[in-house]
Structure 1
Amino acid sequence: MRFAALIFIYCLIIAPQHLSAQFKNNEKNTIDFPSLLVSGNKNAASLSRLLGIDPNRLHMSQSYQMSYGLVGGHSLSQGIYLNTLRYDFNIPLKLQLQWGVAHNPLQASGIKSPLQSGLFLSGASLEYKPTENMKLELGISSYPQHDFYYSPFSIQRD
């Protein structure tokens, strides 16, 4: 028993000090992540110059929302991820695009959910603001359609 304990201690403490499993200390291929976060990737910058997009004018925000309900003895859940991209042009013009993904995260009962899942375009807008007191905005918005089978206000009443 004492011999097994010594072997266990050796395998746990001493043996890993002698092993250098798959660790390569190659200084020329290392990536300095703090400087990469500050200055960005040089290849991405050249691609943005080729496309004429300034990365400093591109803004992105993300959100996730989840809801859960119990109606008529059946549980319903829906999660929505929204991504908003906005690009500010040199002139007082902003272009915004919002898209999302809807899914049923807790739908494990096998009952078909009336909530639709999938990718959807939530909205797009174009804002022109030539002066401080004048703004012209054109936009369109759309959200996933729901079939309200269990709603007291639905058309399908029994």
Structure 2
Amino acid sequence: MNTEEHRREFERPTAPLLVALVALALPACAGGYDTQTALRNAVDEFHDGFRWNAMGSMLPHIRPEDQDAFAAEHQASMEDVQIADYEVDRLVIADGNEEADVWVSFSWFRVTEMVVHEVTVREHWAADGSTWNRTEVAVERGELP
């Protein structure tokens, strides 16, 4: 057997093995990626709505039983407030992909004062079927409007 034939004989078994390994590994990666992507999309949609005062973007991520109270509180506390910017600092998805903690920093100011405030919050999010809902908020630094 010459060198070329020997190399081909050696390469043949590895190709099916490689295909099998990739086929087994991809579903495991895809599940985590889908969960993280869905959560990140929900967090961004909520905070884009928060920034631009678009209740229609926020309410889908508040549990139905909490939506009326959330809308009333938001309207009362954000009357003369503008959100300058926000940034998602960190996402931690709990085992089971049903709950997550998200750290968000944002800048805000009252139109009547024009003083920029910085705040960092930790939000708890919970999966409800294919929807992610923000269920709790705790201030870690600064103050909310």
- Normalising by structure 1, report the TM-score: 0.29
Structure with greater helix share of residues: 2
Structure with greater strand share of residues: 1
Higher relative contact order (CA 8 A, sep 6+): 2
